[in-house]
Amino acid sequence: MKEDTSFLDQQLEFYQEVKKNLLSYVKDTGKPNEIHPEFVASVINELAAKDAIFTVDTGMCCVWAARYIDGTGERKMLGSFNHGSMANAMPQAIGAALARPHQQVIALCGDGGISMLLGDLMTLVQYQLPVKIIVFNNRSLGMVKLEMQVEGIPDFETDMLNPDFIKIAEAMGMLGISINDPEDVKSGLEKAFKHEGPVLVSIQTDPNALAMPPKLEFDQMKGFALYMGKMMLGGRMDEAFKIISSNYKHLGEIL
């Protein structure tokens, strides 16, 4: 058995600093139709049961859940962590709800993921599975966009023209809750979690929110700077400034 804990102590100290930085994103809740996803994930963490089962779509939802959903020793988190398959959260939630009917099941879905399997909402209604589907509706394929940014490539075809998820949920026979303002996040999620049947909550999150790693590598900073330069030279100044204003907390790390 190793007795030298210097490496462990160093990593724990580093992680404490990371956690402090993460809290700064929670305090800045965003604005109407551009709610910060970090804030949303922190509220879900606050309201969820101590033994809740979380399922997370591959992409940005996976990042927000990993950073802001606390482990209690009783909670479980399911995702497509090896294959990286899209649209996994809702089907995993269906399975979890059937296997553990007495536990709260919360699916954190991206708008890209939920769009691929909208028909499965009928399964939730038919079997009255009380799954709470939280859609991080950022109108984009967020992880693909981020991967292009750090490679210095102006994003292309990552924007999504989404349907009205609430109307679809209601047409299927389940409760739909739309949240467009940070002030309504907590009350809307409380309503969803108290409802006995399945619920779909669509939250308009900031499409420009970046999920930066705790420690940036030089190539990532170089790629992002190149991306911003190409955006500006390509006449997409408005988009570049929106990214800057949404992620001003990262500027000291990137630029």
The residue with greater pLDDT, 142 or 87, is 87
Element holding 41 (H helix, E strand): helix 37-47
Could you tell me where the beta strands, DSSP code E, fall in 138-179?
Answer: 175-179
d(CA 225, CA 149) in angstroms, rounded, equals 9
Task: Say which DSSP state 205 is in.
Answer: B
**CATH code at position 111:** 3.40.50.970
* Secondary structure of residue 196 in the 3-state scheme: coil
CA angle 58/61/62 to nearest 5° reads 60
| The pLDDT value given to residue 60 | 86
Element holding 169 (H helix, E strand): helix 165-172
**Which residues form the domain of 47?**
28-210
CB count in 10 Å sphere of residue 235: 8
Residue 52 lies in a domain: yes
| DSSP bridge pairs for 200 | 133, 176
Domain count, the chain: 1
172: its two tokens: 């299927």
The residue with greater pLDDT, 60 or 184, is 184
**Which whole number is the average pLDDT over 22-46?**
91
Residue 19 lies in a domain: no
**Which whole number is the average pLDDT over 13-26?**
78
**Which whole number is the average pLDDT over 15-25?**
76
* End-to-end Cα, the chain, rounded Å: 44
Least confident span in 11-20, 39-48, 204-213, 220-229:
220-229
Could you tell me where the beta strands, DSSP code E, fall in the chain?
Answer: 30-31, 34-35, 53-56, 76-79, 105-110, 132-137, 175-179, 199-204
The residue with greater pLDDT, 130 or 234, is 130
Residue 237 lies in a domain: no
Are the CB atoms for 157 and 14 separated by under 8 Å? no
d(CA 74, CA 232) in angstroms, rounded, equals 48
Residue 23 banded pLDDT, cuts 50, 70, 90:
confident
Q: What percent of the chain has pLDDT over 90?
A: 55
Least confident span in 4-13, 45-54, 241-250:
241-250
Find where tokens 């001003």 sit.
Answer: 248
Are the CB atoms for 109 and 137 separated by under 8 Å? no
Range among 15-29, 70-84, 212-226 with highest mean pLDDT value = 70-84
Residue 232 lies in a domain: no
Half-sphere exposure of 159 (CA within 13 A, CB side): 6
Are the CB atoms for 56 and 113 separated by under 8 Å? no
Residue 231 lies in a domain: no
Distance of CA 127 to the CA centre of its chain: 27
The pLDDT tens digits for 108-157 are 999 989 999 999 999 999 999 999 999 999 887 666 666 666 667 676 76
Residue 38 lies in a domain: yes
| The pLDDT value given to residue 15 | 77
**Which whole number is the average pLDDT over 79-85?**
88
Q: Which of 78, 35, 10, 24 is nearest to 212 (CA)?
A: 24
* Secondary structure of residue 36 in the 3-state scheme: coil
d(CA 65, CA 53) in angstroms, rounded, equals 12
Asked whether residue 217 carries a pLDDT value surpassing 70, the answer given is: no
The residue with greater pLDDT, 25 or 61, is 61
Residue 53 lies in a domain: yes
Residue 184 lies in a domain: yes
Residue 209 banded pLDDT, cuts 50, 70, 90:
confident
**Which whole number is the average pLDDT over 84-100?**
95
